[in-house]
Structure 1
Amino acid sequence: MIGETVLEINLKSLAHNFEYLKSKIKSSTKVMGVVKAFAYGSEAGEVALKLQELGIDFFAVAYTNEGVKLREVGVTQPILVLHPQSMHFETLIQNCLTPSIYSKFVLDHFIASAEAHKQKNYPIHLKLNTGFNRLGFANQELDGVIEKLRTTKAVQVEGVYSHLAASEDLKEKEFSLSQIKNYEAMSSQLIHQLGYKPLKHLCNTSGILNYPEAHHDMVRTGIGLHGYSNDFAVDAALKPIATLKTIISQIHEVQPGESVGYNRKFIAEKFTKTATLPLGHADGINRIYGKGKNYVSIKGEKAPIIGNVCMDMIMVDVTHINCKEGDEVIVFGPELSAEVFANLAGSISYELITSVSQRIKRKIIN
């Protein structure tokens, strides 16, 4: 009996996924592991250290403080900060983190910070906007970028990259191919003007699988390391690393006409046995998963979530299940995919797994 709600992180499954994804690229192609957002809701330090042990080349995080925490636990590989803010540049430099430079504002301020700290050839990665329209330099800005870089020796371009908007959706293949074409043209222009060749990287997990011609010098993977690929056929070859488990706190016998939970969103039409579980929307099991849309697994059987999800509790229908208080419950994991769980409510695995609250205990299985 686990006795409490826990998120188990299986590092052997992580290693399996890493090796599977490496099998899809050339041996010379580097791999960047994306471990932002607590490594997609799991445990960033343990995940990063395991990947470092496995020989990964780079890491990526969203924000500077995430990179600092990785340094504090012993991560020594290069760490790209995908969305740095200028107020954190001093901390970024002190921790040998690599900034993604995505606008003139960021470029100007980072060069000023690097010069103030007497840096020479500090590595940066330039982010190109090839159609996502989220972050990145537009094509018409590139001449200005090169002109600015020629005024300083404080920084050096280590990487040039972009991001595919719909690499998992083959109905958008034409758009993805247009992004690849734009990236080729923009990166070639930059490299020609720089006079040296930085690392080129474009593909995310779905890009690795669907666009091998665009692997370049390095690929990035986040969700794939965690056992999901946006393709159920590929998911069968991967292993979800996280299993969210909880227990039955109490069992109720609900008579016909009685209600369960806030706003009486479940009214029993017949005798119903319910189980109350100690996790709710404060733990990442949001209200969208209630009212019969989703289910958990108890003794290998489906137990639908009934009524509204509470902040700290959910109630499930166990009328048909021979269970008792204290029994283990699987919310998602290898037996009940987070992708399936999320899809039932119109969400995606990314949103579900990254929402798992930090108040839930993490248990590392190596």
Structure 2
Amino acid sequence: MTEIIRRTWAEIDLDALANNYRIVRGSTDPRAMVCCVVKADCYGHGALRTAAELQSLGADWFAVSNLEEALQLRRGGIVRPVLVLGFTPPEEAGALAKGDISQCVYSMDYGEKLSLCAAAMGVKVKVHLKIDTGMSRLGFYFQDIFRDEGAIGEVIKACSLPGLLPEGVFSHFAVSDEGEEGDAFTMRQFGCFKELSEALVRAGIGSGQPLLRHCANSAAVFDYPLSHLDMVRAGVVLYGLYPSAKLRARPELRPVLALRSVVSHVKTVQPGATISYGRKFTAEREMRVATVPVGYADGYPRALGTGGAAVLIRGRRCPVLGRICMDQLMADVTELPEASMGDRVTLIGRDGGEEISAGEVAGWEDTISYEVVCALSKRVPRVYLKDGRVESIYNQLLSE
């Protein structure tokens, strides 16, 4: 694709991405590496082009959720180390080894099964040992409320399993984005992680090549510099979104994604007319209504139809009327008489002096900005901008 099909599209500002990466790099301990978290299609921004840009900017590592995402990066030309943070079926040990992809090992049971499969295939799989210091999700259980000393022995044993090459040890903070309210628990988690990782050093694990220690997520990059250790894992902040409103250090990040559409139709409705499914909105006066070809199948949530949502048309806020449909929504343009078919509509992003952020959209839906951008569907083309111009377009429906 060389031209935008002007229905609904997402603009990805690579200059903003570069700005945010440099802020992360500048905020990270110079001795620590930066791992860019690019799971969930780079948080909806498009995995391949976005990751390629981050690689060109100097990203040391990449982290993904699953094997498919890791293989997508490898097939797309990403050569830096890639870590799978979640579950990979042990029988895929060969694919991990062939792709030079590092795998999270989070329990002895999983480690033994991965080891058996790797040994049977005659391969070596690089692994990072995950320590559960307080998320109670994945990881060898080693929390402050119950420090099972047996967990240290299990991790040491896992590091010695045949077919596995211990490369790193890591954990994940649960409330590092909660400001002062999260301080005590975050430091308890960090204390547990330090205790276990130091025990591995005393046991001689990584004596040839020290294990890579990492536990700092996006919020901790800025609010907990003590936790940077050997590497930080930056995710949502790369895309110009703050982990929460309670983040204390708030550098000037720039939103990378804007969601655009167009006005497809404008009509006048009379008092008493109802709009959209369920007839949840009734016109109390004569109104001009614009139809916009974007809906929940594109990732614009159906719930926003009753949550006070608005869109920008000609730089003006126009309230959304009635429920969001699968492929369309309606907006009030009564106070914008010049609105007409073909006008650009901004659902996320800036238009003139007005802006609707992903965080604002998340507030209407009572969720978080992560979910808003991750929800954009494959039928929304990603249009990449660089130096203020369209650099490339990825339309998944039309790609070969």
TM-score (normalised: structure 1): 0.95
Q: Does 1:192 align with 2:202?
A: yes
Letter in structure 2 aligned against 1:195:
I
Moved more, 48-57 or 177-186: 177-186
**Tell me, which stretches of 5 or more residues in structure 2 are unaligned?**
143-147, 387-400
Is the contact between residue 2 and residue 246 of structure 1 (CA under 8 Å) also seen in structure 2?
no
Is the contact between residue 160 and residue 201 of structure 1 (CA under 8 Å) also seen in structure 2?
yes
Corresponding residue number in structure 1 for 2:358: 338
Letter in structure 1 aligned against 2:187:
L
Q: Does 1:100 align with 2:109?
A: no
Is the contact between residue 29 and residue 225 of structure 2 (CA under 8 Å) also seen in structure 1?
no
Is the contact between residue 29 and residue 219 of structure 1 (CA under 8 Å) also seen in structure 2?
yes
Q: Does 1:115 align with 2:119?
A: yes
Corresponding residue number in structure 1 for 2:141: 138
CA distance in 2 between partners of 1:138 and 1:284 (Å):
36
How far 1:292 sits from its partner (Å)? 4.8
Cα gap change, 1:256 to 1:276, in 2 (>3 Å):
same
- The match for 1:293 among 308, 325, 330 is 308
Is the contact between residue 205 and residue 211 of structure 2 (CA under 8 Å) also seen in structure 1?
no
Is the contact between residue 292 and residue 304 of structure 1 (CA under 8 Å) also seen in structure 2?
no
Per-residue CA distance 1:49-90 (angstroms, 9 max, x = gap): 111111110000001000101111100000000113224333
- The match for 2:221 among 208, 211, 232 is 208
Q: Does 1:357 align with 2:377?
A: yes
Corresponding residue number in structure 2 for 1:125: 128
How far 1:297 sits from its partner (Å)? 0.9
Corresponding residue number in structure 2 for 1:244: 259
SS of 2:140's equivalent?
coil
Cα gap change, 1:326 to 1:72, in 2 (>3 Å):
same
How far 1:304 sits from its partner (Å)? 1.2
CA distance in 2 between partners of 1:353 and 1:235 (Å):
20
Q: Does 1:261 align with 2:276?
A: yes
CA distance in 1 between partners of 2:198 and 2:204 (Å):
10
Q: Does 1:157 align with 2:177?
A: no
Corresponding residue number in structure 2 for 1:60: 63
Is the contact between residue 246 and residue 277 of structure 1 (CA under 8 Å) also seen in structure 2?
yes
Letter in structure 2 aligned against 1:158:
E
Corresponding residue number in structure 1 for 2:330: 315
How far 1:293 sits from its partner (Å)? 1.6
How far 1:151 sits from its partner (Å)? 4.6
Is the contact between residue 245 and residue 328 of structure 1 (CA under 8 Å) also seen in structure 2?
yes
How far 1:231 sits from its partner (Å)? 4.8
Identity fraction in percent: 34
Correspondence list, 1:22-33, <5 A:
22-33=25-36
Is the contact between residue 307 and residue 365 of structure 2 (CA under 8 Å) also seen in structure 1?
no
How many residue pairs were aligned? Answer: 364
How far 1:116 sits from its partner (Å)? 2.4
Corresponding residue number in structure 1 for 2:318: 303
Cα gap change, 1:294 to 1:119, in 2 (>3 Å):
same
Cα gap change, 1:235 to 1:309, in 2 (>3 Å):
farther
SS of 1:315's equivalent?
strand
Q: Does 1:91 align with 2:98?
A: no
- The match for 1:173 among 163, 180, 183 is 183
SS of 1:53's equivalent?
helix
Letter in structure 2 aligned against 1:323:
A
CA distance in 2 between partners of 1:144 and 1:177 (Å):
24
Is the contact between residue 241 and residue 333 of structure 1 (CA under 8 Å) also seen in structure 2?
no
CA distance in 2 between partners of 1:247 and 1:60 (Å):
35
Cα gap change, 1:267 to 1:236, in 2 (>3 Å):
farther
- The match for 2:232 among 206, 219, 225 is 219
CA distance in 2 between partners of 1:75 and 1:100 (Å):
19
Corresponding residue number in structure 1 for 2:394: none
Letter in structure 2 aligned against 1:160:
V
CA distance in 2 between partners of 1:236 and 1:296 (Å):
27
How far 1:155 sits from its partner (Å)? 2.0
Per-residue CA distance 1:178-236 (angstroms, 9 max, x = gap): 11111111222223224333011011110111111111110001101100123558666
CA distance in 1 between partners of 2:183 and 2:251 (Å):
23
Is the contact between residue 292 and residue 329 of structure 2 (CA under 8 Å) also seen in structure 1?
yes
How far 1:264 sits from its partner (Å)? 0.3
Per-residue CA distance 1:276-330 (angstroms, 9 max, x = gap): 1111111111122112521111111111111111111111111112311110011
Letter in structure 1 aligned against 2:380:
I
Is the contact between residue 34 and residue 232 of structure 2 (CA under 8 Å) also seen in structure 1?
yes
Moved more, 18-27 or 111-120: 111-120
Cα root mean square deviation, aligned: 1.7
Cα gap change, 1:181 to 1:236, in 2 (>3 Å):
closer
CA distance in 2 between partners of 1:254 and 1:136 (Å):
58
Letter in structure 1 aligned against 2:20:
N
CA distance in 1 between partners of 2:170 and 2:77 (Å):
27
**Tell me, which stretches of 5 or more residues in structure 1 are unaligned?**
none
Letter in structure 2 aligned against 1:20:
I
Per-residue CA distance 1:135-171 (angstroms, 9 max, x = gap): 111133331232243353x322211100001111022
